[in-house]
Amino acid sequence: MFALLIKRFNKSPFYKSVAWVAGGTAAAQAITMLSAPVVTRLYTPSDYGILALFVAILGIMAPFSSLTYATAIPLAEDETLTHDLLMLCFLITLTISLFLGIIVFLFGSLVAMAFSVPDVASYLWLLPLCLLGTGLYEALSRWAIRRKYFKTIAMTGLSRGASGAGIKIGLGWLGIQPLGLLLGLLASSVAGCSSITRKLIKEDQAFGHFSWRGMSYAAKRFSQFPLFRSWSRLLLGFNKQISVFFMAGLFGVEVAGLFGLANSMVNLPMGLLGESVATVFFGEIAGYGKSRPDKIRALAMSVIKKTSLVGTITMVPILIAGPWLFSVVFGAEWAEAGVYARLLAISVVIRFASKPVQTCLVVFEMVGTQLLLNVIHLSLIAAAFMVSELCGLSPHGTVGVYSIAIAVNSSITFVLVHITLKRRANSIGGAIPHRPS
C-alpha cells in the first residue's frame, strides 16, 4: 500500500504539491507539538489564557490587513494585474497597521475594555506589529500560490514554526511571562516573508514600483472582495475566536487558557493536512477557473473522501485517552484540557473534511454566499453559548454544545458547496470587466 501511495504521488502533480506543503507544515507543526510540553511547563494556564485572548483579537482584525485583496492574487488574469494587486495589498496593510498603532497608543485601555479583555491591555502595543506581519505574509504567500511555489511555502511554514517555538521557550526560561508567548506569536507572524520576497524581487522587475492607475483598476476589478469577502472573513474571525471570549467571560482566564490549549492541539493534526490540501486545492482550481466546474467537482469529491478518512483516524487517540494524554504530555495541571479536546474531536473531523472545498466559492467569486454562511456560523455559535449560559451548563457541557454547533455549520457548508458545483456543471457564466488599454 505504501508503494502504491508513493507511485500515485509521483504521477500526480496535485498530490506532489500536497506532499510538499504538507511536509513543510508537518515539520512546523512537529516543532510546535514537540515544544509544547516544554512551553506548558514554563507558562501557566492563565498565561495561555492571555495568549488565547490576544490571538482572538488578532484573528478578528486580520481580515482587514489587506481588505482581503490578497485572496484575489491567484485569480488575476495577467502578471501586470498581479503586480498591481500585490502593491495594493502592501499599501493597504501598512496604512491599516499604522492607523491601528495610533488607536492602540491613544485608546489601548478602552479597546481592551471594549473586547472585555482587560488582562491583555498591557500587551496591545504588539497588535499592530502582528497585524503588519500577518498581512504581508498573506499577500506574499498568495503570490507564491499563483506561481505554484509550494516548496517555498513549505519552507516558510517551517521557519514560522521554529521562530515562534524558539522565542516562547527562550523567553519563558528567562521568566518573561506571559510576554514570551506574545513575542513568539509576533516572530511566527513575520517569519517566512523574506524568502518569498527574494523570489518576488528576482522575478518581478517592477517590484516596489507603484502604479496608481494600475492599483485603482485592481481595486475596482476585485471590489467585491472588500465589499463582501472582508466582512465574510471578519465574521469568520469572530466564528473562530468568539469561543475564547465566551469561555473567558463565563468561566475566567484560566479556563480560557485550558480551552485554548485543547482547541489548538486538537486542531494541529487537522491544520497539518487541512491547510496544505486547501492551499494546493485552491491553486489547482484557480487554474481551472469558472469554466471547468466539472473538473473542480470531481477533484473536490476525491479530496473530501480522503480527508474524512484521515481526520477520523487522527482523532481516535484523543477520543479514547484525551485527558490522560494531556496530563502526561503537558503536565498534570493540563488534564482538564484533554477533556475539552475529546469533546471537540468530532466537530474538528467534520470541519476538516469540508474546509478545502470551501475555496470553490472563492473561485466562483460567490462572496455574498460566503458572507451568508459566516452569518449562519456566528449565529449558531452565539446560540450555543447563550443556551449554555441560560441552562447553567458547566465548562464541559458548554464545550460540548459548542462542538455540536460547529459540526452542524460545517455540514451546512458542505451541502451548499456540493449543490453549487452540481449546478455550475450544468450552467457556466459570469463576465469579468476588461482591463483598460
Question: Any idea where the domains of the chain sit in the sequence?
Answer: 17-222, 224-437
Higher pLDDT, 117 or 227: 227
CA 312 remoteness from chain centre: 21
Residues 145-176 pLDDT 10s: 888 887 788 788 788 888 888 999 999 999 89
Q: Tell me the pLDDT tens digit for each residue of 171-210.
A: 999 989 889 999 998 988 888 788 888 888 888 766 777 8
Lowest-pLDDT range, 113-122, 305-314, 328-337, 371-380? 113-122
Average pLDDT taken over every residue of the chain: 82
Instruction: HSE, CB side, 13 Å, CA atoms: give it for residue 249.
Output: 16
Which range has the worst mean pLDDT, 15-19, 105-109, 178-182?
15-19
Give 289-302 pLDDT, tens digit per residue.
666 777 777 777 77
Q: DSSP label at 43?
A: S
pLDDT surpasses 50 at 10: yes
The residues, ordered by sequence, that sit 6+ positions from 307 with a Cβ below 8 Å of its Cβ are: 273, 274, 277, 352, 353, 355, 356
Dihedral angle over CA of 378, 380, 382, 388, nearest 10: -160
- Sign of the C-alpha dihedral, residues 43, 44, 47, 49? positive
Whose CA is closest to 140, among 185, 74, 205?
Answer: 74
pLDDT of 405 reads 92
CA separation for the pair 404, 391 (Å, rounded): 16
> What is the Cα–Cα distance from 103 to 170, expressed in whole angstroms?
31
Cβ neighbours around 3 below 10 Å, total: 7
Are 425 and 360 contacting, i.e. CB atoms less than 8 angstroms apart?
A: no
What is the predicted pLDDT for the residue at 7? 57
Count other C-beta atoms under 10 Å from residue 280's C-beta. 26
H/E run at residue 224: helix 224-224
Separation CA 239–CA 233 (nearest Å): 9
If phi > 0 it is left, if psi is from -120 to 50 it is alpha, else beta; for residue 280 that is: alpha
Q: Look at residue 286 in the predicted model and tell me its pLDDT.
A: 72
Q: Whose CA is closest to 252, among 119, 121, 383? A: 119
CB 31 within 8 A of CB 162: yes
pTM exceeding 0.85: no
Among residues 282, 274, 284, 21, the alpha carbon closest in space to that of 151 is found at 21
Residue 77 neighbours by CB under 8 Å, 6+ apart: 432, 435
Q: Confidence class of residue 400 from pLDDT cuts 50, 70 and 90?
A: very high
| Cell (9 digits) for 272 | 497539518
| Lowest-confidence region among 90-104, 136-150, 260-274 | 260-274
- How confident is residue 432, by pLDDT bands cut at 50, 70 and 90? very low
Helices (H) and strands (E) in the chain, counts: 17, 0
Predicted local distance difference test score (pLDDT) of residue 63: 77
Residue 422: what pLDDT?
A: 78
How does pLDDT run across 56-74, given as a tens digit for each residue? 888 888 878 888 888 888 8
Which pLDDT score is estimated for 361? Answer: 75
